Amino acid sequence: MNPEKLISSKLREAVSVLYGQNPEESMLQTQATRKEFAGDITIVVFPLLKISKKSPEETSREIGEFLTSNSNEIESYNVVKGFLNIKLSNNYWLDIFNKISLSNDWGQHPSSGKSVMVEYSSPNTNKPLHLGHIRNNLLGWSVAKLLEANGHKVYKVNLVNDRGIHICKSMLAWQKTANGETPASSGLKGDHLVGKYYVIFNNMLKEEVNGLIASGMEKEEAEKCAPLMKEAQEMLVKWEKGDEAVVNLWKMMNSWVYEGFDETYKRLGVDFDKTYYESQTYLLGKALVGDGLKKGVFYTKENGSVWCDLTPDGLDEKLLLRSDGTSVYMTQDLGTAHQRFSEYSLDELIYVVGNEQNYHFQVLKHILRKLGFGWSDSIFHLSYGMVELPEGKMKSREGTVVDADDLIANMVDTARETSLELGKLENLSEEEQNKVFEMLGLGALKYFIIKVDPKKTMLFDPKESIDFNGNTGPFIQYTHARIKSILRKASELNVSPGFSGAPLIQKEVEIIKLLNNFPEKVGEAGEAHSPALIANYAYELAKEFNQYYHEVSILKEENSMARSQRLVLIDSIARVLSKAMGILGITLPERM
């Protein structure tokens, strides 16, 4: 049982016996004892004074005496004003330690019976993935793993934005300037090649616009009237009408991009159970709009466009169909949400999308509610802040983004340089070293991004992320490798781990408390949709081990029972670190 729940239960019994009343739940206030005081759990006595009719100190002493006399789990108590600090017995912590050590999957919650879908990534097929996509993918995948650890059935899905004017821009620039260039002929990854032509399009457009401005046209008008922009719009119309040449070009260039994306996803360690494509879903919402018109939820303007008036809800009027009958993003999202809830009987649908779309998802839920879908309240927008660099914001159309592939490669190179400088991997073969460099580079990247609360805008600093000290992935990875090294050395010395029931020292109790808290931390992080809580938990556990390692003898401990039990303790730490970091998608090396 959780220590606080145990003490709360014992406290209820004490109050009932001592004062003849059954206290309300709100009166039973417990919390972890602050580090500057002796004890494990602190009882806040003040709410109980109404029942005891005595001073805080006298009430605390009476309850403390009752608890120590009537509970094997409680060893002693001390009173600090209106606070009763309870110290739990060594045997209590040994029982918890034994339970943790025997668990094959500590922290995993039993099946909840709930089904949750997490949509993340959602790239456009006109450019490669960049640093912003990395945060989205890592956060989405990790949230899915976190929800699985909470016992939910989770579906990981991607919605690829594979149609629209931005796609036509890359297609048109390739058509005009590529001379048939392909990924095979250029040696470029397909997504990089297509992204190259997106930048070329915008450079060509800028020249045309500047020329029109120089001839006396206003900038806004010039951007609309530029011949290149008109050609791109004409290409989009042709695509929507199924023009064979345009559709074939679209299919070819998108296939290049998908191959490129798959390479990046694989190296990043993220995957999906299903991928949706906007080209197949963008019309889904039209039927819902038709139903909404019949029900009077939507209305048609004189030009034939369809709208939803949300001004009574404190929002604005939202366009759902343009005057030419074409759909907008909102229409598609209405359709895909309806499709997913129908298909999977979901308890929750989570969209991992940047905070610039907060209003969009607010509107989406309102419209679905107006259409009579009760499950609209089961939609959750996991809104996250942007990733910025020391140099400032990134811009795709100017080609100033931090490319995901380049960043991953640079992180692995930095891990290699840092490790070799510190002499960390001298005993490993070249092949083993390369595997560890990959683990460290990706571990540094993932941890640095995930440890930040999703809601916050973050500044990404590659050099800081790779540090072997401090709150970083490599620090935790090195801690795990150190534990594994001790366990290997114990095996070489024929010293076997074993739970012996040897008395625990205070530092061991502190570690067991932290290990015992892991399932609760998984639950808390799941409720908050925040893997950052797991990342920072792993850091605290790694710190506790390192302090323990420096203060306490393990292999040199003369008492054989204590020595064997300490090996069980550090093995438990390694397993919980592995589970926690696994939720973040980070692999922990056996050797470093």
DSSP 512-547: HHHHHTHHHHHHHHHHHT-THHHHHHHHHHHHHHHH
Residue 465 near residue 447 (C-beta atoms within 8 A)? yes
What pLDDT score was predicted for residue 460? 82
Q: Which residue segment(s) compose the domain that 27 sits in?
A: 3-88
HEC states along 233-247?
HHHHHHHHCCCHHHH
How far apart, in whole angstroms, are the C-alpha atoms of residue 19 and residue 66?
Answer: 12
Q: Is the same domain home to 422 and 514?
A: yes
One-letter amino acid for residue 545 of the chain? F
Residue 543 lies in a domain: yes
Proportion of the chain above pLDDT 70, given as a percent: 98
Residue 6 near residue 67 (C-beta atoms within 8 A)? no
Of the listed ranges 210-224, 416-430, 557-571, the least confidently predicted one is 416-430
Q: Is 553 helix (H, G, I), strand (E, B) or coil?
A: coil
Mean pLDDT over 563-571 rounds to: 98
> What is the average pLDDT value for the chain, to the nearest integer?
94
How far apart, in whole angstroms, are the C-alpha atoms of residue 480 and residue 478?
Answer: 5
The more confidently predicted of residues 365 and 324 is 365
| Cβ neighbours for 458, distance < 8 A, ≥ 6 positions apart | 135, 385, 386, 387, 388, 449, 452
How far apart, in whole angstroms, are the C-alpha atoms of residue 359 and residue 314?
Answer: 12
Mean pLDDT over 359-367 rounds to: 97
pLDDT digits (tens, 9 = 90+) for 445-461: 999 999 999 999 888 88
Q: Is the same domain home to 69 and 168?
A: no
Q: Are strands 83-88 and 41-44 parallel, antiparallel or unpaired?
A: antiparallel
State yes or no: pLDDT of 142 exceeds 70. Answer: yes
Q: Is 11 helix (H, G, I), strand (E, B) or coil?
A: helix
Q: Is the same domain home to 169 and 83?
A: no
What pLDDT score was predicted for residue 397? 44
Q: Is the same domain home to 415 and 537?
A: yes
Q: How confident is the model at residue 326 (pLDDT cuts 50, 70, 90)?
A: confident
The more confidently predicted of residues 462 and 320 is 320
How far apart, in whole angstroms, are the C-alpha atoms of residue 417 and residue 571?
Answer: 30
Q: Is the same domain home to 516 and 429?
A: yes
Q: Is the same domain home to 69 and 186?
A: no
Q: Is the same domain home to 415 and 538?
A: yes
State yes or no: pLDDT of 203 exceeds 80. Answer: yes
Name the burial class of residue 232, with classes exposed (0-12), middle (13-18) and buried (19+) by CB atoms within 10 angstroms of its CB. Answer: buried
Total structural domains within the chain = 3
Residue 476 lies in a domain: yes
Buried b / exposed e along 425-459 (16+ C-beta atoms within 10 A)? beebeeeebeebbbbbbbbbbbbbbbbbebeeebe
How far apart, in whole angstroms, are the C-alpha atoms of residue 271 and residue 409?
Answer: 19
Residue 283 lies in a domain: no
pLDDT digits (tens, 9 = 90+) for 42-83: 999 999 999 999 999 999 999 999 999 999 999 999 999 889
State yes or no: pLDDT of 372 exceeds 60. Answer: yes
Residue 345 lies in a domain: no
Q: Is the same domain home to 53 and 177?
A: no
Select from 270, 305, 339 the last residue of a domain. 270
Q: Are strands 274-277 and 115-119 parallel, antiparallel or unpaired?
A: unpaired
Residue 462 near residue 411 (C-beta atoms within 8 A)? yes
Q: Is the same domain home to 26 and 173?
A: no
Mean pLDDT over 75-102 rounds to: 96
* Token pair for 186: 């250029």
Q: How confident is the model at residue 394 (pLDDT cuts 50, 70, 90)?
A: very low
Q: Is the same domain home to 408 and 512?
A: yes
CATH at residue 522: 1.10.730.10
What pLDDT score was predicted for residue 585? 98
The closest alpha carbon to 517, from 506, 529, 497, 533, belongs to: 533
What pLDDT score was predicted for residue 392? 52
Strand partners, 83: 44, 80
State yes or no: pLDDT of 201 exceeds 60. Answer: yes
Select from 246, 270, 294 the last residue of a domain. 270
Q: Is 213 helix (H, G, I), strand (E, B) or coil?
A: helix
pLDDT digits (tens, 9 = 90+) for 208-226: 999 999 999 999 999 989 9
State yes or no: pLDDT of 396 exceeds 50. Answer: no
Residue 352 near residue 382 (C-beta atoms within 8 A)? yes
CATH at residue 21: 3.30.1360.70
The closest alpha carbon to 341, from 377, 383, 292, belongs to: 377
The more confidently predicted of residues 220 and 427 is 220
What pLDDT score was predicted for residue 400? 54
Residue 292 lies in a domain: no
User: Residue 166 to residues 178, 187, 235, 394: CA-CA distances in angstroms?
Assistant: 18, 24, 11, 17
Q: Is the same domain home to 415 and 555?
A: yes
Residue 71 lies in a domain: yes
Residue 127 lies in a domain: no
Name the burial class of residue 89, with classes exposed (0-12), middle (13-18) and buried (19+) by CB atoms within 10 angstroms of its CB. Answer: middle
Residue 538 near residue 582 (C-beta atoms within 8 A)? no
Q: Is the same domain home to 209 and 80?
A: no
What pLDDT score was predicted for residue 230? 95
pLDDT digits (tens, 9 = 90+) for 333-355: 999 999 999 999 999 999 999 99
Q: Which of 274-288, 400-414, 561-575 has the highest mean pLDDT?
A: 561-575
Select from 88, 106, 136 the last residue of a domain. 88
- Using the Cα atoms of residue 98, residue 101, residue 106 and residue 109 in order, give the sign of their dihedral: negative
